[in-house]
Amino acid sequence: MNSRIRSDVTVIGLGLMGRALAGALLRAGHSTAVWNRTAVKAEELLPHGALLSDTANDAVEASSVTITCVSDYQSLQQILASVTDELDGRLLVNLTSGDSAQAREMAGWVRQRGADYLDGAIMAIPSAIGSAEAVVLLSGSKVVFEKHQPVLDTLGTAVYLGEDHGLSALYDAAGLTMMWGILNAWLHGVALLGTAGVDAADYTPFAAQMAHGTVGWLTGYAEQVDSGTHRPDDATLTTHAGGMAHLIEESERLGVNSELPRLFKALVDRAITAGHAGNSYAALIGQFTPKSTAA
């Protein structure tokens, strides 16, 4: 180990994801310093040229750019607790998962130490890192992002979201709610069709067609949400509520879990009570926004 390493990039955190990040940087030809609490995890990277630092402080000092990727912010704070002057004039790119408040707080902490900060979220599994398929969301200073984009692009497709450091975490969360929304709806459909002996594989092409069709409505609904006008160009909330009642009845008659359609109907019923019976589905936004801004 060496405390006087000089390198292009540093990676702190060599779990499954951190090792993939360091590996991609090394393959792209960047000299890469690494540090991990459990040093043995660096071993597989050493034959590829990784430079193992003795301490996190040394690792930060080794490069003008440090990428951190550990379990959570609490772990990151423990690692960075003793790192102060070393950050001055450098860039910290934090790819540790967390929420928007943690990202903004970390941005302030890093700024106080004279460093730049980009907060990121990785929308990929470790094996995809280094390929275009691996989307890495980043937020913070645009100037800083553009200056360092060549190195960030070696991790995957680096997508810049905006100056607010909380944006990466918020997009990450919004992506997860899309994912689980689709997966749970698909599973509910699989269970419904399963009562008639239809395999998941046979049902799935139709499910995918429905999902694609629904995605096609989003741009129009987004315009309605942004403008606050919820014209019922397709169907009113009253019509949707009727369909949901049938879905609940069908599910319960067949013994299929009806929690999901019950949730859908509870949201629509509340919007109808709030005066949106004749509006489009976009009027449901008021059921999701913070109470202070709810329509």
User: In this chain, which stretch among 16-24, 59-67, 218-226, 259-267 interacts with ligand NAP, using CB under 6 A?
Assistant: 16-24
Of 71 and 177, CB closest to ligand NAP: 71
The set of residues, in sequence order, having a beta carbon less than 8 Å from that of 235 and lying 6+ positions away, is 280, 281
Give the shortest CB-47-to-ligand NAP separation in angstroms.
19
Regarding 78 and contact with ligand NAP (CB under 6 A), the answer is yes
Tokens 């102060």: give the residue. Answer: 84
Regarding 68 and contact with ligand NAP (CB under 6 A), the answer is no
For 168-181, b where at least 16 C-beta lie within 10 A, e where not — what string? bbbbbeeeeeeeee
Let me know how long the chain is: 295
Amino acid at 70: V
User: In this chain, which stretch among 118-126, 206-214, 236-244, 247-255 interacts with ligand NAP, using CB under 6 A?
Assistant: 118-126
Of 155 and 268, CB closest to ligand NAP: 155
Task: Please answer whether residues 67 and 21 qualify as being in contact, where contact means their C-beta atoms are separated by less than 8 angstroms.
Answer: yes
Give the distance between the most distant pair of CA atoms in the chain: 71
- Which residues face 157 on adjacent strands? 135
- Which residue's CB comes closest to ligand NAP? 15
Q: Which of 8, 27, 31, 37 binds ligand NAP (CB under 6 A)?
A: 37
Q: Which of 96, 102, 251, 280 binds ligand NAP (CB under 6 A)?
A: 96
What dihedral angle (degrees, nearest 10) is formed by the CA atoms of 183, 184, 185, 191?
Answer: 110
Regarding 13 and contact with ligand NAP (CB under 6 A), the answer is yes
Give Rg (Cα) of the chain.
24
Give the shortest CB-17-to-ligand NAP separation in angstroms.
3
Regarding 15 and contact with ligand NAP (CB under 6 A), the answer is yes
Task: Please answer whether residues 126 and 19 qualify as being in contact, where contact means their C-beta atoms are separated by less than 8 angstroms.
Answer: yes
Amino acid at 65: V
Give the shortest CB-102-to-ligand NAP separation in angstroms.
11
Q: Which of 27, 28, 31, 41 binds ligand NAP (CB under 6 A)?
A: 41
Give the shortest CB-66-to-ligand NAP separation in angstroms.
14
Backbone angles phi, psi at 266, to 5 degrees: -60, -40
State the residues that interact with ligand NAP by CB under 6 A: 13-18, 36-38, 41, 69-71, 75, 78-79, 96-97, 122, 125-126
